[in-house]
Amino acid sequence: MRQRWLELIASVLTLITASYEWNSHSLNVSLPILVDASYRQSFEKWKSDLIEDRKENWLPLAGLFWLKAGDNTFGTVPGNDVVFPSGPKRAGVFTRNGKQVVVKVAPGVGATIAGKPVTEATLEPDSSETPTIVEMGRLRFQLIVRGERVGIRLKDLQNHAVRSYRPPEFFPLDLNYRVTAKWEPANGNQRVDVPNVLGDIMPTPVPGFADFRLNGQEYRLAALEEGDKEKKLFFIFGDPTNKSLTYHAGRFLKADPATNGTVVLDFNRAYNPPCAFPPYATCPLSPKENHLTAAIAAGEKYDHKVDRH
């Protein structure tokens, strides 16, 4: 008798489980996956690093000045070609020749490069392995090259944006948005057109593609070559949440290199590009190949009513 009862209970449980799985599949939804303490701790560490990177590299941005050919005087008074928001009244001259720029610092203006006093220097751009960063009191500036544009990007270490920064808001952690994708290496010469906030289109090399399944649908994302020192795979993607819940121009996502033909895409770690904060970043935007029809309700949000970048 006891054996028959056990068999009956097992049959009922099987029917319930099968019905639950069938309904979930037919409704095209995923069953919830519990988030354990170690994953949550790892996520919080990643988020803390993200905030520190913004405070150090992006929130201090205080200006972006495109240079004309020849001499460009700079300082705080309106008579300069480049007007800094703070610093010496007449700080010196940027001389542009093509994409090469030489800075000459005015007498009496203290400036250093790598801790050494300088009065004149040829500036290596931010795309260089050793970009030149000029320090002038609380200010830091460097050369950037974007297509045919050549400019000076300025940081102010006491920028109000650093002090007033609100902690980022994320969707609740959901491990259904942590997917294992099949990795397809590119053939070596594949590129996609990546737009940026300046309106430029940059043909960008693609190291490979990640194919994955989400909510019953198949998707593909093209990884973009970024020159990441950590050797991470880099993706920029857009999805329907961009209209009201996330940054309108798409979000960034990084992943560890492929292992055994697969790559893990954790959309809980999707984050807003730098141009979502200061108006002086020149971010790439999501290419059309990476526009997903699935709403990715995971990762960092964006308040369209408050933030306007």
Domain boundaries, the chain: 32-57+165-290, 61-158
Q: Say how many residues make up the chain.
A: 309
Architecture of domain 61-158: Sandwich (2.60)
Q: Are the CB atoms for 130 and 124 separated by under 8 Å?
A: yes
DSSP per-residue codes, 262-301: EEEEEGGG-B--GGGS-TT---B---GGGB-SS----SB-
Distance between CA 59 and CA 278 in Å, rounded? 6
Average pLDDT in the chain: 88
Burial of 217 (0-12, 13-18, 19+ CB in 10 A): exposed
Spatial contact of 38 and 145, defined as CB atoms under 8 Å apart: no
The number of beta carbons lying within 10 Å of the beta carbon of residue 44 is 10
**pLDDT value of position 227:** 63
List Cβ neighbours of 200 (8 Å cut-off, separation of 6 or more): 146, 147
Positions of the chain with pLDDT under 50: 1-3, 5-29
| CA–CA dist 192, 289 (Å, integer) | 8
Q: What's residue 10's pLDDT?
A: 45
What is the per-residue pLDDT for 229?
Answer: 59
Q: Which residues pair with 183 in a beta bridge?
A: 210
